[in-house]
C-alpha cells in the first residue's frame, strides 16, 4: 500500500544524490558536481546534477512515499518510480527521440537517472508565452500512435498483452485520477478548489443529471478498458519542447487504460490554453492567430495520429478482425467520441478540482479569470454531453471556438 518505503529507502538530498550517480561513471569527477532540487511538480523530488568542467549533466528523479503537493498525510506508493522508468523504456523502443533517455533505475531508492532536458522548456510555459512549436503536432501524434498501437491487442499477442497489463498495474495512481478527474469535481467534495464567485456555476454542474450520467460512462471506461499502455497524465506540463524537439516525460500514471484518455488530456490542456489567451495575448490579432494555431495543433495531431495508427493497423495488425471491412472505422469513431469526452472531464477538473493549470490560475485580473473559468466549465460540459454529435475533429475545434467566443 501507499507510503510503505522499500527497505533501504531514504529521501535523497543534494548531498546524497552523488551516491546514486557516482557508479554510473558519467562524470569525470563526482566531487565537483553542482546539485539542485528543482522539482515543481506535485509528487516527486527532481535533482539537477551538473559538472561545470565538462558541461555534462543528468536528472535524478525520486518518488516520495507521499504526495508532495498535499504532504505526508497523503501516502503514495513508491512503485510509481518503477512504472515511470519502465514506461519510458517501453516508449523508447518505438519513439526514442520523443522521451528522455533513462540511464539507470534504482528500485530501492525509487529513483530514475535520466537525460537532462534543461535546453527544453515545459510546453505549458511556452504556450502561455504564446510560443509556436511547428513540430509539436507531428511529434505528439507519433508518440501517441506508436506507443498506443504497439502496447495494444492490435499488435501484441493476447498472452504478451496480459503480461504487460500485469506489469503496469498502478492502482494508487489510477485512484488519484478516478477521484480527481472523474469524481470529485462533479460532487461537492472537499478536494475541490474554486473561487467563491464561481459557486453558482459549479452548483449548476453538480445538479446536471445528464452530465453526471455521461461522466459515469467515461469513468467506467477509465476503470475497465485496458486497451493499451497509456501515459496517464499527458497534460502540457508533461511535455518538454524546443522549436524542433519534443520529449514526453513523467509517465508515473501509466497503466493499461483507454487509448482516448491520453489524446483527450492533451487536447483539453490546449483548449484551456486557448481560453487563457484572452488574457495572455492582449492584442486581438495576435490572440486570434495564436488561438487558431492551438486548434491547428489539435486537428493536425488527430489527423496524423489517425494516419499513423491506420498504417500500423494495416501493416502490423495481428487480429483477424482487423481486416474485416468497417472495423477500423468503428474503432476511430468511438475513439474520437471518447477522446472528446475525456477532454471534457480534464477541462472541468483543471478548473474546479484539486490540481489546476497555470494557464488560467496565473491570470491576475480576478474578473477575467472568473469569466474564463466559467467558459471552461461550459466547454467541459458541452464536450462530455455532446461528444456523440462531434463526429469530426473539426467539430471539436468549432466547439472550443464557439464556447470561447460566445
Ligand atoms: C495529487 S496529484 C495531482 C495531479 O498531479 C498530477 O500531475 C496528476 O495530473 C494528478 O491528477
Ligand atoms: Mg507529473
Is residue 286 within 8 A of residue 280, CB to CB? The reply is no
Say whether pLDDT at 14 is over 90. Answer: yes
Between 70 and 246, name the one with better pLDDT.
246
CATH 3.40.50.1950 assigned to domain 121-405? The reply is no
Distance CA 263, CA 250 (A): 16
Q: What is the pLDDT of residue 47?
A: 97
| Ligand 1 pocket member 174 (CB < 6 A) | no
CATH of domain 17-115: 3.30.200.20
Strand partners, 36: 48
**pLDDT class for 228, splitting at 50, 70, 90?**
very high
Distance 181 CA to ligand 1 centre (A): 9
**Residues listed for the chain:** 406
Same CATH topology for 17-115 and 121-405: the answer is: no
Distance CA 203, CA 58 (A): 47
Distance 343 CA to ligand 2 centre (A): 17
Distance 200 CA to ligand 2 centre (A): 31
Q: What is the pLDDT of residue 182?
A: 99
Average pLDDT over residues 155-165: 98
* CA-nearest residue, atom 3 of ligand 1: 355
Say whether pLDDT at 68 is over 80. Answer: no
* CA-nearest residue, atom 11 of ligand 1: 177
Distance 29 CA to ligand 1 centre (A): 37
Probe target for ligand 1 pocket from 124, 176, 231, with the most ligand atoms within 8 Å of CB: 176
Which residue stretches of 317-357 are H helix? Answer: 327-352
Distance CA 231, CA 155 (A): 18
Burial of 211 (0-12, 13-18, 19+ CB in 10 A): buried
Give the dihedral of Cα atoms 292, 296, 302, 308; nearest 10 deg.
-170
Ligand 1 atom at minimal distance to the Cα of residue 67: 1
The tens digit of pLDDT for each residue in 40-51 reads: 777 899 999 999
Grid cell at residue 398? 468549432
Contacts of 331 (CB under 8 A, 6+ apart): none
Q: In the predicted model, what is the mean pLDDT of the chain?
A: 96
Percent above pLDDT 70 for the chain: 99
Ligand 1 atom at minimal distance to the Cα of residue 74: 1
The tens digit of pLDDT for each residue in 307-337 reads: 999 999 999 999 999 999 999 999 999 999 9
Q: What is the pLDDT of residue 1?
A: 43
Distance 259 CA to ligand 2 centre (A): 19
| Ligand 1 pocket member 180 (CB < 6 A) | yes
Average pLDDT over residues 240-259: 98
Percent above pLDDT 90 for the chain: 94
Q: Which of 111, 105, 115 is nearest to 13 (CA)?
A: 111
Range from 7-11, 83-87, 104-108, 111-115 carrying the lowest mean pLDDT: 7-11
Distance CA 353, CA 268 (A): 14
Ligand 1 atom at minimal distance to the Cα of residue 349: 11
The tens digit of pLDDT for each residue in 163-204 reads: 999 999 999 999 999 999 999 999 999 999 999 999 999 999
Name the binding residues for ATP: 44, 61, 115-117, 250-252
- The domain locations on the chain are 17-115, 121-405
Distance 157 CA to ligand 1 centre (A): 32
* CA-nearest residue, atom 8 of ligand 1: 233
| Ligand 1 pocket member 345 (CB < 6 A) | no
Say whether pLDDT at 154 is over 90. Answer: yes
Distance 406 CA to ligand 2 centre (A): 33
Q: How much is the ipTM here?
A: 0.98
| Ligand 1 pocket member 252 (CB < 6 A) | no
Q: What is the pLDDT of residue 297?
A: 99
| Ligand 1 pocket member 355 (CB < 6 A) | yes
Probe target for ligand 1 pocket from 233, 268, 346, with the most ligand atoms within 8 Å of CB: 233
Ligand 1 atom at minimal distance to the Cα of residue 176: 11
Probe target for ligand 1 pocket from 65, 80, 180, with the most ligand atoms within 8 Å of CB: 180
Distance 347 CA to ligand 1 centre (A): 14
Distance CA 232, CA 221 (A): 13
Amino acid at each position: 500500500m501507499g507510503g510503505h518505503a522499500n527497505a533501504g529507502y531514504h529521501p535523497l538530498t543534494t548531498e546524497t544524490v552523488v551516491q546514486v550517480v557516482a557508479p554510473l561513471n558519467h562524470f569525470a569527477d563526482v566531487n565537483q558536481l553542482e546539485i539542485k532540487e528543482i522539482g515543481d511538480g506535485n509528487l516527486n523530488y527532481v535533482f539537477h546534477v551538473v559538472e561545470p568542467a565538462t558541461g555534462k549533466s543528468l536528472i535524478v528523479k525520486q518518488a516520495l512515499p507521499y504526495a508532495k503537493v498535499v504532504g505526508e498525510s497523503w501516502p503514495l506508493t513508491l512503485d510509481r518510480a518503477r512504472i515511470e522508468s519502465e514506461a519510458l523504456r517501453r516508449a523508447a523502443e518505438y519513439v526514442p527521440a520523443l522521451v528522455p533517455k533513462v540511464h539507470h533505475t534504482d528500485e530501492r531508492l525509487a529513483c530514475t537517472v535520466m537525460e537532462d532536458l534543461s535546453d527544453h522548456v515545459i510546453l505549458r510555459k511556452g504556450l502561455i508565452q504564446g510560443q509556436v512549436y511547428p513540430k509539436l503536432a507531428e511529434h505528439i501524434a507519433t508518440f501517441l500512435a506508436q506507443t498506443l498501437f504497439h502496447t495494444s491487442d492490435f499488435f501484441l499477442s493476447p498472452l504478451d498483452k496480459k503480461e504487460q497489463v500485469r506489469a503496469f498495474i498502478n492502482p494508487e495512481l489510477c485512484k488519484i485520477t478516478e477521484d480527481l478527474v472523474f469524481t470529485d469535481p462533479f460532487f461537492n467534495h472537499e478536494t475541490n478548489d474554486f473561487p467563491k464567485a464561481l459557486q453558482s456555476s459549479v452548483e449548476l454542474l453538480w445538479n446536471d443529471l445528464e452530465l453526471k450520467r455521461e461522466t459515469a460512462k467515461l469513468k467506467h471506461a477509465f476503470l475497465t478498458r485496458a486497451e493499451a499502455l497509456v501515459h496517464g497524465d499527458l497534460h502540457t506540463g508533461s511535455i518538454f519542447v524546443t522549436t524542433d524537439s519534443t520529449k514526453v516525460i513523467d509517465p508515473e500514471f501509466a497503466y493499461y487504460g483507454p487509448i482516448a484518455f491520453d489524446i483527450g488530456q492533451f487536447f483539453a490542456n490546449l483548449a484551456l490554453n486557448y481560453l487563457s489567451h484572452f488574457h495572455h495575448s492582449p492584442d486581438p490579432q495576435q490572440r486570434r492567430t495564436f488561438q487558431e494555431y492551438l486548434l491547428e495543433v489539435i486537428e493536425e495531431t488527430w489527423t496524423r495520429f489517425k494516419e499513423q495508427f491506420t498504417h500500423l493497423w494495416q501493416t502490423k495488425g495481428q487480429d483477424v478482425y482487423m481486416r474485416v471491412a468497417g472495423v477500423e472505422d468503428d474503432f476511430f469513431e468511438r475513439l474520437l467520441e471518447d477522446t472528446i469526452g475525456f477532454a471534457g472531464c480534464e477541462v472541468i477538473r483543471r478548473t474546479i478540482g484539486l490540481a489546476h493549470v497555470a494557464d488560467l490560475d496565473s491570470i491576475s485580473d480576478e474578473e477575467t479569470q472568473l469569466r474564463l473559468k466559467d467558459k471552461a466549465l461550459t466547454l467541459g460540459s458541452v464536450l462530455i454531453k455532446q461528444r456523440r454529435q462531434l463526429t469530426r475533429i473539426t467539430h471539436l475545434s468549432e466547439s472550443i471556438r464557439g464556447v470561447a467566443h460566445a
